Chains A and B, each alone.
Chain A
Amino acid sequence: MNNEIKLILSGLEPLIVRTDSNFLNVGERTNVTGSKVFLRCIQEQRWDDALAIAREQIENGAQIIDINMDEAMIDGVQAMTHFLNLIATEPDISRVPIMIDSSDWKVIEAGLQCVQGKCVVNSISLKDGEASFLQKAKQIKKYGAAVIIMAFDENGQADSLERRIEICSRAYRILTNQAGYTPQDIIFDPNIFPIGTGMEEHRKNALDFIQATHWIKNNLHGALVSGGVSNVSFSFRGNNTVREAIHSVFLYHAVKNGMDMGIVNPAQLVIYDNIEKNLLEHVEDLVLDRRADATERLLKLAEEIKPSAQKEVTVIDRAAIPLEERLADALIKGIPTHIAEDINEAIQKYPSPLAIIEGPLMAGMNIVGEYFGSGKMFLPQVVKSARVMKQAVAILEPLLLEQKNNGESTAKKKILLATVKGDVHDIGKNIVGVVLACNGYDVIDMGVMVPNEQIIARAKSEKVDVIGLSGLITPSLEIMTEMAKLLTQEGLNIPLLIGGATTSLVHTAVKIDPHYNGPIKYVRDAGTAAQDLSHLLSDQKEHFVLETKSEYQRVRENYAKSLIKNPLLSIEESRKLGLQVAPAIYKPNTLGQQTIDVNISSILSFIDWTPFFQTWQLAGPYPQILEDEIVGVEAKKLFADAQKLITEIVENNKLKIKATWSLFPVFKDGDDIVLQEESNIRFHTLRQQQDKKGRNPNLALSDFISSDTADKPDYMGCFAVNAGIGAEEWLLEIKSEQNDYLEILVKAIADRFAEASTEYLHQQIREIHWGYAPNENLSNEELIKEKYQGIRPAPGYPACPDHLEKKTIWQILQPQKEIGLQLTDSLAMYPTAAVSGYFFSHPESQYFGITQLGRDQVQDYAQRKGIAFEEAQRWLGHLMVS
């Protein structure tokens, strides 16, 4: 029997009180009628101080906190709502159950509408009759609270044992019979009145309460007893030693008789056994009404006892704790109390306000992020931490602004947040918004279901620094990918943050990042958002971006490897799932082979310089790289040398470029492409075999040919470009001079020439020779981003990974004769500054990757090519999945 549950309440955590549990302390300080300090906090709207009082009570052992706003000059409904809403965002307070204390029903109901846990209403009574009592009781039950019943009825407050019994038993009957209450939710307050007032009729006040408690516990099964304890010692105001002794003695006896809980100041309770013997005897005489002169005797003793000194407060020597630890601690615990002084100290210590934010403050927030990720903190705690961060940043902001006026750049960065089209989930996004705003960013929140076009328009008009996309449902992932494509089309490279429940690092790396040249960062949670942003917008941005991009590259590679575990589709199935294109046949203006000398000056504008710098391990996009803080100087020097070299090449005819190509009629036969006029020549294409679950086709290059009959052929082309003519002799010359730098420079430039010539050639093909896009008019940047119709895949690269196919191109074009380009035994091109490949024109033609091949396809491929399986395996084995 001694372990039965007698009361169950909850805040963020449960409070389960069993029959053998100790007396339950209800904190009394958050009560405007009982605490002048709290009253002033509320009147002066010092909510942080009011919250501190609530927090302090819990730290001192209150297991429930009583909240009362009943004061004539306070709008009780407004104050109760405001304070309870604040408490809901303070997890160290809201973890305990709330007691909503008011004599005004409106205030009680307002309170009940703000509390998610199972709370206690304090109180209702039969004062206004049974009907009103019952109606309120039923309402409270619908809100899911326990209730305290004051021993009060139509005839007034119960002031004797008999009246207490009468009222409590009547209320108990009504609640259990008519309002459906379980007794565990009924708590009686049989009135604690002062003793030692000198009035005869008050002598038994404590004793009556104790006896009423005894009766209730024995007769009203399952109900509990509570009371406001400090009332009992009211006559001894000003003498805390005596008051505390009275409280302890009173509680000692009341609890022995069954009192379950009470409203007390838990910091002001002496232990019964520690009360000085003489004082104890005097107090017990009074409480238990053992002598007629108990009051006089205690008053006399009280005069001899000095009021107990102010309780010693444990003073922690904060100065002994390192500043960084104090800041981190404030952020992790979400305590703003000392943040101002600590930040001011930091201002003295750190070189700049930014260094404080990026140093100790971010370090603290990082811990918060980690704790959240590992389940050591939960969301409301994180939000609280973010608020402390905001206060810290707010102190630093004027200084940041000052520096800005002094020419140091610290403009507030603008972050645009939106939940993407088709998705209405925004709670996570809102939290990120809160956290970012707390970190000093200017957050523009476009809300939910925002179409990509609107996001882009707003991003442009507001000139935002970062766009953050959020989504919870799976289709949102696709929308995010579309957004990346759209941004690319718009030529923007605003950093993009990706977040939301279904997003992931892998999805961002595999599905979104490849479609966007700008920085993309997957944001795991609100905790890491601020951290990622600070990197993304810092001076080290380029490095962070590059690091991220290469991380994503690794993720993609690992992902590709992980797919190997997933069984591939058979080649037959994959073929059925190929892309079915609508016929789009463009007859070329000029059919057959042509060979040209490419004028270097005509291709200079086609050079994509970014890979040139990559050759030198200098990371970053051109032309921004020239201004990069870290590598900019080096990049500029290199670029100047390259320009000088190009001038020399042009002036002294050091290099020559030749290209040859042919456009011809073809049709497809399975995965082969057959030349209409030389049907013994076929291109053998390879097909993707991953199980894409019907979401995307399993592509092969042959899919881009509209025709499968020789009668009505489609067209394609192949080409070879040699930009290394003359390079050999020159390089030998350089080698003899032991000029490594120049050697690499020449090679790198020749490579760029080969690529640029191919770009140039492809444009000429599209506009003139094939002529399917006569009025294209694209800038070099757009060309680099492949914004034209048609593709030019090269054998040995992802869409057609088999180098053997180069032999077919050599069979058709004879590049060794036409442009001096050899194919080595290992099927590499020589000179190396060369490109060879195919031209496809179909509007749906696209680049793709063959990452895995089934054994069945390699066998099939070998058969089609008429080579041994082992030969095919030699060239394709690295892609084969057994």
Chain B
Amino acid sequence: MGLFQDIVKKTLTLDGAMGTMIQRHTLTEDDFRGTRFAVHHVALKGNNDLLCITRPDIIEEIHLQYFEAGADIVETNTFNAQQISMEDYALTDCIAEVNTAAVQCAKNARDQYYLKHGRQKQKYIAGAVGPTSKTTSLSPDVNNPAYRAVTYNQLHSAYFEQIEALIDAGVDAILIETIFDTLNAKAAFHAALDVLEKKNLTPITADNTNGDIALMASGTITDAAGRTLSGQTAAAFAISLSHLPLFSIGFNCALGADQLLPHVKELKKHTKAFVSAYPNAGLPNALGQYDETPEIMAQKITAFLEENGVQIIGGCCGTTPDHICAIHHLVEHQNSAS
């Protein structure tokens, strides 16, 4: 069976937070460095993507936990694995290496899962591509609103490098996520299309089920006005990406399930792609922790599935395998009902 064909019959479950799970291991600078970066001149603690190389055991284990919890799709640990973000760590020459290692971690976890449970349930790997630390629609310089810290072309080449590495390493999908500036995302997808063209691959969409790679988009609503950071409404966001052969589009992060729902509903009106959502485990509490329990979160997720037809559902910050397990139970329930 081709990739992602099961979505026609069922809702797919996406994994939960990577960062939250990594934080459970109290890792030291040495863990991040490993032998590979033992002598690197910049502090590396906090660069989670590097753990794919230096502590692959941890990353694999997290992926496996999500597969076991019922996730159909896991995201590679590559949120910041492109030039622009890695520049902060002086690691711009390791992009392909990090992405390749990350995909390998996910593949190893998937192999372990298949070994234990067989291949009845197809499991997918989505290459996670974050928004970078710079924005093309806002100026960081007060005296010069026309200034931009990064250009479209710089973003395009950074994304091209990452996406090519992810695809070469064998991901099933590219998930461009936590989009707070749609122009950044447009550059990312532009690069993705160019990679596909270079490799003579085709995107998987609802209309083209025989494609090779699924392109997935997920934006982030950051403020109380219901806008992205760069000021777009949910509808404008969807329309601005409507030229793309997207497999799915949705929202993630920043909000809990109940706050996210109205924006997802609005988004669905403006797209033909499958709709995805992976909210945080509620809003952070006063001490910055997410404390929505799996049961409460799953309860809120119900509304996404039945009435509102979200077909890819998972969790972002603060969610754990327990959350995904609870969400997956819901999804299974729905899948068996339909």
Contacts and interface: CB of A to CB of B under 8 A. Distances in A.
Contacts of A248: none
A91 B43 CA distance: 39
A510 interface: yes
B78 interface: no
A535 interface: no
Nearest to B222: A379
A741 to B, nearest CB: 43
A145 B182 CA distance: 13
A475 B23 contact: yes
B242 interface: yes
Contact of B153 (A113, A143, A375): A113
Contact of B286 (A378, A381, A475, A510): A510
A379, A387, A390 pick with most chain B CB within 10 angstroms: A379
Given A12-B236, A449-B46, A505-B286, A387 B244 contact: no
B183 interface: yes
Interface string A498-540: 0001111111001100000000000000000000000000000
Given A379-B231, A422-B45, A502-B284, A85 B239 contact: no
A449 B88 contact: yes
B133 interface: yes
Contacts of B242: 8, 118, 144
Contacts of B133: 424-427, 448
B239 A8 contact: yes
B240 A376 contact: no
Contacts of B232: 10, 12-13, 116-117
B287 A85 contact: no
B140 interface: yes
A336 B53 CA distance: 52
A390 B241 CA distance: 35
Contacts of B140: 430, 433-434
Given A9-B239, A144-B244, A475-B23, A116 B182 contact: yes
Nearest to A390: B142
Contacts of A507: 286-288
B191 to A, nearest CB: 9
Interface string B126-156: 0000000101111111110111100111000
Interface in B225-256: 225-227, 229-233, 235-237, 239-244
B143, B193, B231 pick with most chain A CB within 10 angstroms: B231
Interface string B1-41: 00000000000000000010001000000000000000000
Contacts of A473: 19, 46
A280 interface: no
B88 A503 contact: no
A387 B143 CA distance: 8
Give the size category of B's interface with A.
35 or more
B24 to A, nearest CB: 9
Given A88-B137, A474-B23, A502-B288, A10 B142 contact: no
B65 interface: no
B152 to A, nearest CB: 4
Contact of A437 (B142, B151, B233): B142
Contacts of A427: 133, 135, 138, 180, 229
Contacts, number: 188
A477 B146 CA distance: 33
B145 A118 contact: no
Contacts of A291: none
Nearest to B153: A113
B230 A85 contact: no
Contacts of A183: none
Contacts of A510: 286-287
A117 B240 contact: yes
A144 B142 contact: no
A600 B88 CA distance: 58
B235 A14 contact: yes
A141 interface: yes
B152 A378 contact: no
A117 B152 contact: no
Interface string A413-440: 0000000011111110011011001100
B328 interface: no
Give the size category of A's interface with B.
35 or more
Contact of A424 (B85, B153, B236, B237): B85
B224 interface: yes
Contacts of A506: 285-287
Contact of A372 (B45, B88, B223, B284): B223
Contacts of B143: 437
Given A117-B236, A118-B242, A473-B19, A511 B152 contact: no
B288 A12 contact: no
Contact of B233 (A14, A88, A89): A14
B43 A474 contact: no
B106 to A, nearest CB: 22
A89 B243 contact: no
A423 B80 CA distance: 12
Contacts of A376: 225
B138 A113 contact: no
A105 interface: no
Interface string A1-44: 00000001111111010000000000000000000000000000
Contacts of A386: 142
A14 B85 CA distance: 31
B46 A380 contact: no
A86 B285 CA distance: 37
Contact of B243 (A91, A185, A426): A185
B181 interface: yes
Contacts of A423: 46
A542 to B, nearest CB: 27
A506 B141 CA distance: 31
A559 interface: yes
A377 interface: yes
A106 B225 CA distance: 36
A142 interface: yes
A114 interface: yes
A379 B287 contact: no
A91 B227 CA distance: 12
A477 B143 CA distance: 31
A12 B231 contact: yes
Contact of B230 (A9, A380, A475): A380
B199 interface: no
Top 5 closest pairs, chain A to chain B, by CB: A506-B286, A375-B224, A422-B46, A502-B288, A113-B152
Interface of B: 19, 23, 43, 45-46, 80, 85, 88-89, 133, 135-143, 145-148, 151-153, 180-183, 186-187, 190, 193-194, 222-227, 229-233, 235-237, 239-244, 270, 284-289
22 contacts: A10-B232, A13-B236, A89-B139, A94-B231, A117-B239, A142-B243, A144-B243, A185-B243, A372-B224, A374-B224, A378-B223, A378-B231, A379-B231, A383-B145, A423-B46, A426-B133, A434-B142, A449-B88, A475-B46, A505-B286, A507-B287, A559-B286
Given A13-B233, A91-B231, A115-B183, 7 more contacts: A10-B232, A14-B239, A82-B146, A113-B151, A372-B224, A437-B143, A511-B287
